[in-house]
Structure 1
Amino acid sequence: MSEFKFGFSAPDPDDGRGKDDKSGAGDPNQQPNPFDAFGQLGQMLSQLGQMMSQAGSSTGPVNYDLAKQIAVQKLGGVGFAADQGKAVADAVHLAEMWLDPATTLPAGATTTTAWTARDWVDATLPTWRRLCDPVAQRMSGAWVEALPAEAKQQAGPLLAMVGQMGGMAFGSQLGQALAQLAGEVQTSSDIGLPLGPEGVAALLPANVEEFTKGLERPSSEVLVYLAAREAAHQRLYAHVPWLRQRMLGSVEEFAGGIKIDTAALEQLAGQFDPTNPESLEQAMQSGMLEPQTTPEQQAALTRLETLLALVEGWVDVVVADAVGDRLPGAEALRETLRRRRASGGPAEQTFATLVGLELRPRRLRAAAALWRLVTDQHGMDVRDGLWAHPDLLPTTEDLDDPMEFAERLGAADVDPIAELRKTEPQAEPKPEGGDEGTSG
């Protein structure tokens, strides 16, 4: 950053001052600088200007340019060897062959690739934008409205910068969270949501290698197991057309209905210092601005958790059937990943901070037990057929009593899709004798 105040030029090197005498105090004839009183304000404006220029030209409630910069800087340049990229392609190919007899859903990935952590950030950022914008929009708008009239008057021309500063604060938080998450995920679908591009099966070799270190299993075995999970997720999201929109839409619905604690917001707004660019981010990290969960929000969260559990439970069962005895450590890997998903981690922290919810399949084991029961009693055709429409899926209550759900399916003894279509409006039959307007 330049050492000169915003809007002022450098002093004349021939003005007679010594190199170490920047104040003019040693010269009794030196007149006081009338602009010294504005030094602090000028320096603050200079800092704001530089910070905003470095943060990129992103507009909106979250500065995604800044988020990406921070994430990339924290991640460094960790890559992977060419043979690791080939190993990923081979693992997914093998996993797809094993999955074919374990589900009626065909392969869903059209592209298989290996990602670095930076690649993961690049590929998933568009989805994070969709998930984070609703709550950030509500927070930033509420923040400006909550500023006392005196603070608005004092801020003056800086008030227009408050929105940008809020976007930068959110961007900073998002960048740090993405860096942490990108350093630990093994696949594009590691947290259950379809974060990556459609049809792209991706694994992160460096993260898989780090994950393998504490498992006492061959790295090739772990890679194939994770590839099978990634491929199973891709099959489900590719061939259940409504699922991607329903999953992401549920998160958007939850975030968009968040209620802000206006009392806490007004308290922090009164303490907000418009001359301190870091004060807004500090306020956001204080915990006082955490969204309030309303009964409607809790109901939306329950629906989201159930859907996420059903997805993860289905993948759990299908992958277990696919790998069978082919991988000696499959059951141990299955249990490790179950515990990892249930205990939470960076993903849950990211969502709790930025979207207001913990994205965790709390009912994973119950969902897996239900899918196993349906598979054993009715076969995988009926099991996979339940994904044809959201109204056919098990509910939260069904997870509490999977036996009753399985018995209900057996008692119906009909095609569930055919029964569902009976409830849809029927088209008006055409008049006999051909098209209207023709005579018999």
Structure 2
Amino acid sequence: MTSDDSPRPEDDFPEFLRKLFEDAGAGGNPLADGGLDPEQLKRLSEQMGAAGIDPAMLQPLMQSMQQAFATAGDGGISWDAAKRQALHLANQDGHAITTGEKTDHEQAFALAELWLSEATMISELAEPARPITRGEWVELTLPVWQELAEPVATSMADGLIDALRAQSPDDMQQMLDGAGRMLRGIGGQMFAGQLGHVIGKLSREVVSGGDVGIPVMPAGAAAIVPQNFADLGRGLEIPDDQLALYIAARELAHARLFRHAKWLRLQAIGQVTDFARGVDIDVERLEDLASRFDPQNPDELREALESGSLLPEQSEAQRRALERLETLLALIEGWVDVVTADATNRMPSGDRIAEVIRRRRAAGGPAEDALEALVGLRLRPRRLREAAAMWRAVTDAVGMSARDSLWDYPDLLPDSADIDDPSGLITRLQARARGEEPAPDDFDQALAQLLEEESGDGGDVPDDDADDEPDSGDEKP
């Protein structure tokens, strides 16, 4: 029983928050040494225990706030939490690459390199491909994941502030204004930690660097993850050496393509980030969670993040952007499929392995599903088989040199209409091979008409019909 002049529980926590927000608004770090009053924290902990709340639950909150304060100066997001979480999951079993695994995969890469040179005109990599651990895959790919997810993390953090504003009384609004950067940092840390969880799970599923379709590895790098390769072949009744050779050829084809077409990497990453910038947060859903959030049961918030329920339905602009991205990914994956099939056509199990890989890519896995829920982005091309059929038709009609030249410049790349019907694309390539000017398409004709109209409006170009229809000012009596 507390005396009348003892601090009351209902006074300490608001004062605790007020101190945090005021110091954060002033640019300080109230959680640093000498910040908050230790006696106040002690009383708060005792009061939480008396109320049946585990004081230890303050620890994760304090850690998130500490990280948020560390980045509050520039309003940015620290991705250390994502990296730690991802590496924790990736390195859980502590498996190292054995000498035998290293030798087997290096030999597979060496032979695949030779075979691939017979199936494509795109040149070899400057650096040799190599086996890597799950943790190394996280380290190598995390910068790209960060770039892709940062727009969504920012939207999540802004949504958290909007939800807190809606749920806070008027006398707290000024404090929220002062602590906006801190709150944005906390929201960003929450998202970054969840993203790290997804990437860590993904590191336990990917077999190679290009396994997710987009160029997450450094430019010109190719790698295989032996730990996950062993899981891929389990139960398939396919010799490991043939499976390793096929995966090596596929990985090298993917890496060669992005090294050759340097613009392609920028375009793929740019389309993903453009899509991500359009992702918004369902503030009403977030407000609902905030209004009944139970600190002793944070699972509901985590489940909301993992399920994607905080992401509203895609806008029409986003759907169009997603269609463009899916077309690009399908073109990439389809080309890789065809080139890999041609490079490994002497392998008895090549067709079976190709089908296994296609089905695996189409179905995805739990980690890819989680990434889609978190960012709203599906990285599995829906038109993979149609794109592969187009590349096969082009290869059969004009050969691999003319086929591979389509990756030289962005304006040469086939589009969705070419995937539907490659006959027009093949006709253009055959005409170019004969040295003929390609027949103008609808775009060329529209552009020519526009230029002609602009020239006519300028008055500098003579009008052939001037004698037939003279201007009124030129008429003679």
TM-score under structure 1 length normalisation? 0.80
Given that residues 313 and 367 in structure 1 are in contact (C-alpha distance below 8 angstroms), is that contact kept between their aligned partners in structure 2? yes
Change (3 A) 1:369 1:61: farther
Choose from 383, 396, 409 the match for 1:376.
396
Choose from 232, 236, 239 the match for 1:211.
232
**Structure 1: how far apart are the matches of 2:341 and 2:184?**
49
1:83 paired with 2:72, answer no
Query: What is the match of residue 211 of structure 2?
Result: 190
1:65 paired with 2:72, answer no
CA shift for structure 1 position 68: 2.1
**Structure 1: how far apart are the matches of 2:98 and 2:333?**
31
Secondary structure in 2 matching 1:147: helix
**Structure 2: how far apart are the matches of 1:168 and 1:259?**
17
CA shift for structure 1 position 181: 1.0
**Structure 2: how far apart are the matches of 1:276 and 1:6?**
28
Change (3 A) 1:122 1:417: farther
Comparing 124-133 with 136-145, greater Cα deviation is found at 136-145
Change (3 A) 1:415 1:253: farther
Given that residues 79 and 116 in structure 1 are in contact (C-alpha distance below 8 angstroms), is that contact kept between their aligned partners in structure 2? yes
1:48 paired with 2:68, answer no
Segments of 5+ residues of structure 2 without an aligned counterpart are 1-35, 448-477
Comparing 108-117 with 262-271, greater Cα deviation is found at 262-271
Change (3 A) 1:317 1:262: same
Query: What is the match of residue 405 of structure 1?
Result: 425
Within 5 A, what are the aligned runs for 1:336-355?
336-346=356-366, 348-355=368-375
Query: What is the match of residue 39 of structure 2?
Result: 8
1:121 paired with 2:147, answer no
**Structure 2: how far apart are the matches of 1:416 and 1:135?**
48
Given that residues 247 and 307 in structure 1 are in contact (C-alpha distance below 8 angstroms), is that contact kept between their aligned partners in structure 2? yes
Given that residues 68 and 183 in structure 2 are in contact (C-alpha distance below 8 angstroms), is that contact kept between their aligned partners in structure 1? no
Change (3 A) 1:419 1:238: farther
Secondary structure in 2 matching 1:409: helix
Change (3 A) 1:367 1:150: closer
How many pairs does the alignment contain? 396
Secondary structure in 1 matching 2:191: helix
Choose from 151, 156, 162 the match for 1:145.
162
Comparing 112-121 with 330-339, greater Cα deviation is found at 112-121
CA RMSD of superposed structures (Å): 3.5
Change (3 A) 1:42 1:343: closer
What are the Cα deviations for residues 291-322 of structure 1, in whole angstroms up to 9, with x where unaligned? Answer: 33111111110110011000111011111111
Within 5 A, what are the aligned runs for 1:270-285?
270-272=291-293, 280-281=301-302, 283-285=304-306
**Structure 2: how far apart are the matches of 1:116 and 1:247?**
26
Output the amino acid matched with 2:97.
Answer: F
CA shift for structure 1 position 6: 7.8
**Structure 2: how far apart are the matches of 1:225 and 1:112?**
14
1:74 paired with 2:105, answer no
Query: What is the match of residue 23 of structure 2?
Result: none
Within 5 A, what are the aligned runs for 1:86-235?
86-149=103-166, 151=168, 153=171, 156=175, 161-235=182-256
Choose from 265, 269, 272 the match for 1:248.
269
CA shift for structure 1 position 88: 1.9
CA shift for structure 1 position 370: 0.4
**Structure 1: how far apart are the matches of 2:45 and 2:382?**
62
**Structure 2: how far apart are the matches of 1:190 and 1:46?**
38
**Structure 1: how far apart are the matches of 2:117 and 2:44?**
80
1:307 paired with 2:324, answer no
Given that residues 223 and 251 in structure 2 are in contact (C-alpha distance below 8 angstroms), is that contact kept between their aligned partners in structure 1? yes
Output the amino acid matched with 2:139.
Answer: D
TM-score under structure 2 length normalisation? 0.74
Segments of 5+ residues of structure 1 without an aligned counterpart are 12-32, 425-440
CA shift for structure 1 position 416: 9.8
Change (3 A) 1:268 1:92: same
Given that residues 253 and 336 in structure 2 are in contact (C-alpha distance below 8 angstroms), is that contact kept between their aligned partners in structure 1? yes
Given that residues 118 and 343 in structure 2 are in contact (C-alpha distance below 8 angstroms), is that contact kept between their aligned partners in structure 1? yes
1:366 paired with 2:366, answer no
**Structure 1: how far apart are the matches of 2:413 and 2:399?**
16
Secondary structure in 1 matching 2:129: strand
Query: What is the match of residue 18 of structure 1?
Result: none
CA shift for structure 1 position 168: 2.7
